[in-house]
Chain A
Amino acid sequence: MRATGETRNKEVRSFRTRLFTAIMVIVATLTALGFYLAQRRITADAERNLQERFKTELSSMHKLEELRHAALADRCNALAAKPRIHAAIEDDAIDLLYPSAKDELRDLMEGDEPSPEQAARSLHARFYRFLDSTGAVIKPQNASDVGELDAKTEAQLSLNKLPDTQQIGYVRSRGNIHEVIAVPIFSTDTGDLVSALVVGFKPFELEDKHTGMRSGIWVGGNLHLPALPPAARSSLNEKITSVANGSEADQNYFRVEVDGAPQLLFYKRLNPASLFPPAYEICVHPVASWTAQLNRLRWQIGGAGALLLLGGFVASHFVALRMSAPLKKLALDSEESRAKSERAEAALATTAEELKRSTRYSADASHQLKSPLTVLRIGLESLLGREGFKREIYEELSTLLHQTRRLTGVIEDLLLLSRMDAGHLQIASTPVNLSQLVDEWLDDLGALPDSPDVKIEKEFPPGLFVAGEKRYMSLIVQNLLENARKYNRLGGRIRVSALGNGSDVVLKIGNTGPTIPPGENIFERFHHSSTPSAASGHGMGLNLARELARLHGGDLRLVHSENDWTEFEVRFSTANGVNAVA
């Protein structure tokens, strides 16, 4: 039992461990999943935020640029509409073009180049040129008036044809870059495109000291971004060149490394559909601060995840304990009930074993005893049959023989009982004439030598048939009649009555004499009456009679025992079809 309890405890512990492990696995998985998702979300969010910030900054810059472009274009258009310039072009006075423009564009060219901070508000031009009807630059007579340019740079201002709308372009000259706006000049007389004015400005460049964002311009396979060291610039240039040549998107971004530091690079086509060569605005934004921020966030999430995991650990421990508690109780209960049932089973097994043993013992004992008794009986009978003994010896022999016969009866009863107990007794059921059987036994009863003087009353019809084996029926009747005689009193009576009752036949045997105290189990095997009496049997008769009656589908019971009257009742099954005739 103790060993079983330990096993149970072990099982409960094992269950608890498994439960705990399962919960922990779920908690850990969920935490890991949550961490992963949160991490991914945050990274995505952060990147998006960065992009948004990037785009916002760029967009504000672009708005400024657009405003400046609009202002410049407005200014250029106003200039292009000047009557003197028109007169110079239309009235065949090209020689007067630049001198006229000098006056008209004086305000644009005067003064010093603005600082980068003021660039957005400044409309200061670096140079200007006119294009002839073929799109080629009209050479100025005096370059110093119109902003000097080397021949190579000036050549970049020429276009394949005159633009009919405003064009934006970017030209390089000796490591510098100029933003140019070309505005068409239509003849006020004819409406024809007669010329174009190209004005060069300092390009708008962004350098945010705070965020480290820097912008530059890529044009014609060259990157102009003075804020970057030359080596970084050239490596970046290659990437941008491949993107600019390969991609059709006007704007996009990608990650680059500049001097080992990760940067987000944004590029945007500055002059889509322009007659000037394509130019891209290049903007780099260091992601170092962003990465640091992201890492900090990751740590925070990681910490939160660890805490969650720890919480989950503790919680799952408790949950496992709570959940395993009923199980433990159940285990204990079941252990108890199992112990009980085991005990009961053991008891049953013991009883069955004992019963079996006792049955076998009875059977064995009966068999073992029967043979010597037979020898003894035959011996006594043969001695009694001899002559020449004294009378006392015959009497003695007769008593011995009587006792031997009685012993034989006991042993036979025992044998029968043990066979019944073992379930070996088979009934060969035939119709038995109960009336005849009772009559015979009553006759025998009167013939017994020690029969007291009792009056016998009979009250049953003749030819009452019951179903059973005659010798066992006979045993029942014999037992009851012998008892009725044995436990009777002097001058008493025995009353035997029988009645067919449909499917049953009830035989009643009553006798005068001492009554059986209530609560006394007279049907118990080897029962001995609590009230001492001269007459006593071996205590098996009633037991045997009842077992036999039950074996025949009937029963034997004590129906009355008071006021000098004791009555037993036996019920038999009617032999089929026989009593109906009676």
Chain B
Amino acid sequence: MIPASLLAGAAVEGRVELPKSHAAPVQAKRYEIVTKAGVLSTQPPLAVVYLDGNFSRPASLPMKEVGQKDLTFIPALLPIEVGTRVVFPNLDDTYHNIFSYSPTKRFDLGRYRPEERPIPSVIFDKPGLVTLRCDIHEHMRGLILVLNTPYFVMTDTAGRFRLDKLPPGHYTLKAWIDSRTTREKPVELRDGRTLHVDLP
């Protein structure tokens, strides 16, 4: 039985000031990873808002997926909790070789075709940012943001977010904007209450 308070929990909503984008805002889920002055971000700009704190790790976590479709990673940015297994299905008609040299997680899945079974997967066991590359398609770039928390959400293109079912207490609310920029604000969450926090 899950306590009602827990079920109800606390909530945080607000808005993250996102970098200006020259591209027209799109409602579609498609976005990509771009680099500018060595900084990786999404295009159109999106932020990952998460609650930082010491949370107990669940015994098992749901598997996540980053597919390779039309020579891009889908999704281009994937926030996950530490210990999550991510599968990398090849949805193209060609070989892909997904690898990462990021200190957070180095792996190399080798070349594989779409019908490769089992679908190559990796467990990300350290928090941090992982840059996904394809050894065959040098332009392909994907990001996995490994977080030490189960509470995270991606903003919409306007920067709006809402986190529900949060445990009450003192935490730090963080917003990952790009590979170099993370904003944060201390928050005090109370059960049943929705806190409004803007991260300018």
Contact partner of A87 (CB less than 8 A), chosen from B35, B40, B133, is B133
Enumerate A155-201 residues with CB–CB distance to B below 8 Å. 187-190, 192
Residues of A with C-beta under 8 A to B38? 90, 187, 189-190, 192
Do B138 and A189 have beta carbons less than 8 Å apart? no
Do A84 and B101 have beta carbons less than 8 Å apart? yes
In the assembled complex, the Cα of A187 lies from the Cα of B39 at a distance in Å of 12
Do A96 and B101 have beta carbons less than 8 Å apart? yes
What mask results when residues 120 to 142 of chain B are scored 1 for a CB within 8 Å of chain A, else 0? 00000000000101111111010
B106 sits at the interface (CB 8 A): yes
A interface residue count range (under 10 / 10 to 19 / 20 to 34 / 35 or more): 10 to 19
In the assembled complex, the Cα of A256 lies from the Cα of B129 at a distance in Å of 66
Contact partner of B106 (CB less than 8 A), chosen from A81, A86, A96, is A96
What mask results when residues 80 to 111 of chain A are scored 1 for a CB within 8 Å of chain B, else 0? 01111011101111001000100000000000
Do B138 and A93 have beta carbons less than 8 Å apart? no
Do A83 and B103 have beta carbons less than 8 Å apart? no
Do B37 and A188 have beta carbons less than 8 Å apart? no
Do B133 and A83 have beta carbons less than 8 Å apart? yes
Residues of B with C-beta under 8 A to A93? 101-103, 106
In the assembled complex, the Cα of A275 lies from the Cα of B75 at a distance in Å of 44
A361 → chain B closest CB, angstroms: 147
Residues of B with C-beta under 8 A to A88? 101
Do B138 and A92 have beta carbons less than 8 Å apart? no
For residue A189, which residue of chain B has the nearest CB? B35
Do A190 and B35 have beta carbons less than 8 Å apart? yes
Residues of A with C-beta under 8 A to B37? 190
B95 sits at the interface (CB 8 A): no
Enumerate A53-89 residues with CB–CB distance to B below 8 Å. 81-84, 86-88
Residues of A with C-beta under 8 A to B172? none
Residues of B with C-beta under 8 A to A83? 99, 133-138
* Among B37, B133, B137, residue most surrounded by chain A Cβ atoms (within 10 Å): B133
B200 → chain A closest CB, angstroms: 27
For residue B139, which residue of chain A has the nearest CB? A188
Q: Give the B interface residue count (CB, 8 A).
A: 20
A356 → chain B closest CB, angstroms: 138
Residues of B with C-beta under 8 A to A188? 138-139
In the assembled complex, the Cα of A46 lies from the Cα of B101 at a distance in Å of 64
B100 sits at the interface (CB 8 A): yes
Do B106 and A84 have beta carbons less than 8 Å apart? no
Do B99 and A87 have beta carbons less than 8 Å apart? yes
In the assembled complex, the Cα of A92 lies from the Cα of B38 at a distance in Å of 12
A93-B106, A189-B35, A189-B38 given; A87·B100 CB < 8 A: yes
Do B133 and A92 have beta carbons less than 8 Å apart? no
Contact partner of B101 (CB less than 8 A), chosen from A91, A187, A190, A192, is A91
Residues of A with C-beta under 8 A to B141? 189
A96-B106, A189-B35 given; A87·B139 CB < 8 A: no
In the assembled complex, the Cα of A365 lies from the Cα of B100 at a distance in Å of 164
A77 → chain B closest CB, angstroms: 13
For residue A187, which residue of chain B has the nearest CB? B38
Residues of A with C-beta under 8 A to B135? 82-84
For residue B130, which residue of chain A has the nearest CB? A91
Residues of B with C-beta under 8 A to A82? 135, 138
For residue A84, which residue of chain B has the nearest CB? B135
What mask results when residues 90 to 107 of chain B are scored 1 for a CB within 8 Å of chain A, else 0? 000000000111110010
A83-B133, A83-B135, A86-B138 given; A91·B100 CB < 8 A: yes
In the assembled complex, the Cα of A92 lies from the Cα of B36 at a distance in Å of 17
In the assembled complex, the Cα of A86 lies from the Cα of B131 at a distance in Å of 12
Residues of A with C-beta under 8 A to B131? 87, 90-91
For residue B140, which residue of chain A has the nearest CB? A83
Residues of B with C-beta under 8 A to A192? 38
For residue A104, which residue of chain B has the nearest CB? B135
Residues of B with C-beta under 8 A to A91? 100-103, 131, 133
In the assembled complex, the Cα of A90 lies from the Cα of B135 at a distance in Å of 14
B18 → chain A closest CB, angstroms: 20
B145 → chain A closest CB, angstroms: 15
B96 → chain A closest CB, angstroms: 11
Enumerate A355-396 residues with CB–CB distance to B below 8 Å. none
B128 → chain A closest CB, angstroms: 11
A76 → chain B closest CB, angstroms: 16
In the assembled complex, the Cα of A83 lies from the Cα of B97 at a distance in Å of 10
A543 → chain B closest CB, angstroms: 149
Residues of A with C-beta under 8 A to B40? 189
Residues of A with C-beta under 8 A to B137? 83
For residue B135, which residue of chain A has the nearest CB? A83
Residues of A with C-beta under 8 A to B139? 188
What mask results when residues 16 to 40 of chain B are scored 1 for a CB within 8 Å of chain A, else 0? 0000000000000000000111101
For residue B102, which residue of chain A has the nearest CB? A91
B194 → chain A closest CB, angstroms: 39
In the assembled complex, the Cα of A91 lies from the Cα of B136 at a distance in Å of 17
In the assembled complex, the Cα of A82 lies from the Cα of B139 at a distance in Å of 10
A193 → chain B closest CB, angstroms: 12
Extra 16 A-B pairs, beta carbons < 8 Å, given A86-B133, A93-B101, A190-B35? A82-B135, A83-B133, A83-B134, A83-B135, A84-B101, A84-B135, A86-B138, A87-B99, A91-B103, A92-B103, A93-B103, A96-B106, A100-B101, A187-B35, A188-B139, A189-B35
The 9 closest A-B pairs by CB, nearest first: A189-B35, A93-B101, A87-B101, A91-B101, A190-B38, A83-B138, A83-B133, A91-B102, A83-B135
Q: Can you give 21 contacting A-B residue pairs, CB < 8 Å? A: A83-B99, A83-B133, A83-B135, A83-B137, A83-B138, A84-B99, A84-B101, A86-B133, A87-B100, A91-B100, A91-B101, A91-B131, A93-B101, A93-B106, A96-B101, A96-B106, A189-B40, A189-B141, A190-B35, A190-B36, A192-B38
Where the two chains meet, the residues of B that have a C-beta atom closer than 8 Å to any C-beta of A are: 35-38, 40, 99-103, 106, 131, 133-139, 141
